[in-house]
């Protein structure tokens, strides 16, 4: 994929953003705040879509914003503005201070602990701007769509091919003396098509995303994958209700990891609304299961040297040999729990679940007969109990081979049992997000159908 160097996509220099953040902090101090933090950001980009080879939408975006949070004692107030003028800045700070004076005191409110703030800010190679012109972007989107439409004559319609190229930069600063920020970029290419056979229609899609355009899959590969995934869903059947092994395809398996992360995150823990309360040191997964947090991966989609409070991120084993080693906490939730921040204010950083060594065909063979899930519908998860019930579609597998597509079914279980019942993790790792994991095979779940 051809790329060329970009002219600066930003309106402001990093120094200007730092000055704006520092000015907001100075105004907060002058207004009576005992502590304050500010984040200044800007972004720009191009989003384009084509349908049946014709350009359908072109969007150029350019935005900016400044948010300031102040503390008056342990009363907190927040305000934001998209206007960087001196008057607008002063109004935003005044509004934040006014809000703080009218809120209740909270003994857990405040900035991060000073000793946890990041000192070293390594370059993680997160910024690769792409100065692609509209015509070139349209050609890539067209090529992606054309590759999908060419897969099979039963592909009769298209939702189009889309390309997005975004760049952003930010600075976070607080009154403890921390100031840091960096630019990032994200490029993506996607396609969705519709196939028809025997009066039945199916839709599916595929996409690629990366920090750098050179790391994207080719338009031909993305389109072919979208077309193949759509056609294979045609003539789906329903299943009778049964219990059987279930294999979650890698893009779907990331959702299981997300549910685990949510269950051991601060908000659910201090509100006592998680089925994994007090799970630190507990065996939740089988002994072979590992979950690692790696915030410093070069070009990682969730890499960062510090979290949204300036707390230094660190490499750690969240789960080792199936045992929970740590939670996901920001400063506020950590104080609520009598613990320390784990550097996860704002989310997790590149979670990696190592494979047990099997490729995807080997997982099918190991499953024997069971359900391969490639799509989930709805949000049937009770975080308090762990009860899990989702609409699903995918394929019935017989004797280790995909037999036929299935639809209009439900997969159900309890996440505790599901986590404990993981028997294998594939090497077909999903890399397009913050959680990197292959397909996950679970020993037994209830599949509800006819």
Q: What domains appear along the chain, each with residue ranges and CATH number?
A: 14-231 (3.30.2290.10), 236-450 (no CATH)
Rounded mean pLDDT, 256-275: 97
| Cβ-based burial of 199 (10 A; exposed 0-12, middle 13-18, buried ≥19) | exposed
Helices (H), 264-308: 266-270
Pairing outcome for strands 316-320 and 323-324 = antiparallel
Dist. CA 213–CA 191, nearest whole Å? 17
Report pLDDT digits (tens) over 14-58: 999 999 999 999 999 999 999 999 999 999 999 999 999 999 999
Average pLDDT of every residue of the chain: 96
Three-state DSSP class for 413? strand
pLDDT at 378 over 90: no
Report pLDDT digits (tens) over 276-297: 999 999 999 999 999 999 999 9
Q: Of 429, 446, 431, 419, whose CA–CA distance to 260 is shortest?
A: 419
Q: Cα 27 to the chain's mean position, in Å?
A: 35
CA distances from 340 to 166, 334, 337, 389, 449 (A): 34, 5, 9, 34, 46
Dist. CA 22–CA 3, nearest whole Å? 36
pLDDT for position 198? 86
Three-state DSSP class for 386? coil
Return all residues near 272 (Cβ < 8 A) that are at least 6 apart: none
CB-based contact 110:133 (threshold 8 Å): no
The pLDDT-based confidence of 6 (bands split at 50, 70, 90) is very low
Report pLDDT digits (tens) over 98-108: 999 999 999 99
For residue 215, the 8-state DSSP code is G
pLDDT for position 1? 45
CA distances from 156 to 80, 159, 184, 380 (A): 47, 11, 38, 33
pLDDT at 3 over 50: no
Report pLDDT digits (tens) over 150-203: 999 999 999 999 999 999 999 999 999 999 999 999 999 999 999 999 888 999
Q: Cα 291 to the chain's mean position, in Å?
A: 16
CA-CA-CA-CA torsion sign (141, 142, 145, 150): negative
Dist. CA 136–CA 307, nearest whole Å? 36
pLDDT for position 379? 83
Question: How many DSSP H helices and E strands does the chain contain?
Answer: 9, 17
Q: What is the DSSP string of 102-145?
A: HSPP-TT-SSPPGGGB----------------HHHHHHHHHHHH
């Amino acid at each position: 994929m051809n790329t060329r160097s970009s002219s600066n996509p930003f309106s402001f220099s990093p120094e200007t953003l730092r000055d704006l953040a520092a000015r907001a902090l100075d105004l907060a101090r002058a207004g009576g705040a005992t502590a304050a933090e500010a984040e200044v950001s800007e972004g720009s980009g191009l989003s384009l879509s084509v349908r049946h080879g014709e350009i359908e939408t072109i969007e150029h975006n350019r935005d900016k914003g400044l948010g300031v949070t102040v503390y008056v004692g342990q009363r907190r107030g927040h305000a934001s503005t998209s206007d960087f003028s001196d008057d607008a800045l002063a109004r935003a700070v005044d509004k934040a201070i006014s809000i703080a004076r009218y809120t209740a005191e909270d003994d857990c409110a405040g900035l991060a602990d000073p000793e946890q703030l990041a000192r070293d800010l390594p370059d993680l190679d997160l910024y690769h701007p792409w100065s692609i012109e509209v015509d070139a972007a349209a050609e890539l989107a067209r090529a992606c769509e054309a590759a999908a439409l060419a897969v099979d004559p039963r592909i009769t319609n298209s939702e189009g091919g889309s390309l997005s190229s975004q760049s952003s930069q930010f600075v976070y600063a607080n009154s403890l003396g921390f100031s840091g920020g960096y630019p990032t970029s994200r490029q993506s290419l996607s396609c969705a098509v519709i196939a028809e056979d025997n009066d039945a229609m199916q839709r599916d899609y595929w996409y690629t995303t990366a920090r750098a355009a050179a790391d994207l899959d080719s338009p031909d590969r993305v389109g072919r994958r979208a077309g193949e995934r759509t056609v294979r869903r045609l003539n789906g059947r329903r299943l009778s209700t049964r219990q059987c092994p279930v294999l979650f395809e890698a893009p779907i398996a990331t959702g299981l990891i997300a549910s685990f992360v949510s269950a051991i995150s601060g908000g659910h823990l201090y509100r006592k609304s998680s089925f994994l309360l007090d799970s630190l040191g507990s065996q939740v997964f089988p002994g072979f299961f590992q979950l690692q947090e790696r915030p410093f991966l070069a070009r990682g989609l969730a890499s960062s040297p510090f979290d949204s409070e300036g707390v230094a991120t660190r490499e750690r084993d969240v789960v080792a040999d199936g045992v929970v080693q740590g939670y996901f906490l920001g400063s506020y939730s950590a104080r609520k729990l009598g613990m320390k921040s784990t550097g996860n204010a704002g989310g997790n950083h590149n979670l990696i679940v190592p494979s047990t060594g099997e490729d995807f065909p080997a997982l099918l063979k190991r499953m024997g007969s069971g359900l391969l899930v490639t799509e989930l519908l709805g949000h049937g998860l009770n975080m308090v109990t762990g009860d899990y019930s989702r609409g699903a579609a995918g394929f019935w597998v017989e004797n280790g081979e995909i037999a036929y597509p299935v639809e209009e079914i439900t997969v159900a279980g309890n996440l505790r049992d599901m986590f404990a019942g993981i028997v294998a993790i594939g090497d077909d790792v999903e890399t397009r997000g913050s959680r990197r994991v292959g397909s996950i095979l679970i020993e037994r779940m209830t599949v509800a159908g006819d």
